[in-house]
Amino acid sequence: MRPYLLVLIFAIAVYGVVLAYTFGISPIVKENSIESWNQKEASRAPVYVQSDACKQCHLDVFTASTSGNHSTVECSACHGSGREHASLRTAESILIEDTRDACMICHKNIAGRNIATVDESHGSGVRCSYCHDPHSANISE
Ligand code: HEC
Ligand code: HEC
Ligand code: HEC
Ligand code: HEC
């Protein structure tokens, strides 16, 4: 075979592999699909980061949070594990659960629960954060 033919065949082969990757038909790309990534994530034991790990970058929120009514509540209660975010530092890597349900998990009236409780009629129709700063848990003006 002539050398230039070999080079041509090689170039076509490389081009084919690149195309396969681009359109996600390579077996390696399938391995890394969102579904298999989710499965891998779900099989991992959750590792939580404690509030102290948020302090260096969010000192204002940390101070409000640890000196107010929510001083015993970890950031992770409302923001998830925070583990990836502490190294990635992007808005997408952290959860913000700004819903009534996220607060009612702890503040709904359950017999024997020893914290201030409210029922669904309290401030109904608006998010709790409209009136309460979720960090200090004070009534905001
Ligand atoms: C090393 C610095 C760093 C650490 C540690 C860190 N953050 Fe952040 N955080 C950032 C930066 C930078 C942003 C802004 C990202 C942006 O707007 O793109 C941010 C944004 C956020 C936001 C707002 C996201 C949004 O949608 O606007 C929340 C909530 C947050 N961090 C919570 C936490 C919590 C909880 C922890 C502790 C587990 C933590 N952060 C630890 C740097 C950090
Ligand atoms: C009781 C639930 C709750 C806890 C606990 C909590 N947060 Fe938040 N956080 C929220 C909600 C809801 C928002 C979005 C609404 C808002 O900004 O007021 C928010 C917004 C933020 C933001 C972006 C807006 C801002 O105010 O700068 C940062 C950063 C943040 N939280 C960091 C933290 C850190 C760090 C901790 C722990 C020291 C923490 N949060 C604990 C509920 C909580
Ligand atoms: C992980 C549990 C937990 C979650 C989630 C939580 N809280 Fe709290 N909250 C507490 C604890 C514990 C206290 C302090 C004990 C107490 O005041 O009864 C408290 C205190 C408060 C207080 C002060 C009550 C008083 O006695 O004056 C307010 C207001 C409050 N939280 C609002 C909220 C709001 C709004 C949210 C959602 C953004 C929220 N909480 C989410 C546990 C939680
Ligand atoms: C329209 C404004 C408003 C909204 C929305 C609101 N609150 Fe309040 N909340 C208040 C005010 C004002 C007080 C203090 C007076 C009182 O006890 O009613 C208060 C008091 C509380 C207390 C202390 C109760 C006690 O017995 O000491 C808790 C806990 C609380 N709110 C949690 C929540 C939660 C959780 C939500 C969302 C499900 C929420 N609030 C939504 C205005 C609001």
7-35 residue pLDDT tens: 889 989 888 777 776 766 655 555 567 77
Give the ligand with the smallest distance to the CA of 78. Answer: 2
The pick from 51, 66, 107, 135 for probing ligand 2's pocket by mutation, whose C-beta has the most ligand atoms within 8 angstroms, reads 135
36-69 residue pLDDT tens: 777 877 777 767 788 899 999 999 999 999 999 9
Burial track 44-80 (b if 16+ CB lie within 10 A, e otherwise):
eeeeebebebbeeeeeebbebbbeeebeebbbbbbbb
84-139 residue pLDDT tens: 898 899 999 999 989 999 999 999 988 888 899 999 999 999 999 999 999 999 87
Give the ligand with the smallest distance to the CA of 125. Answer: 4
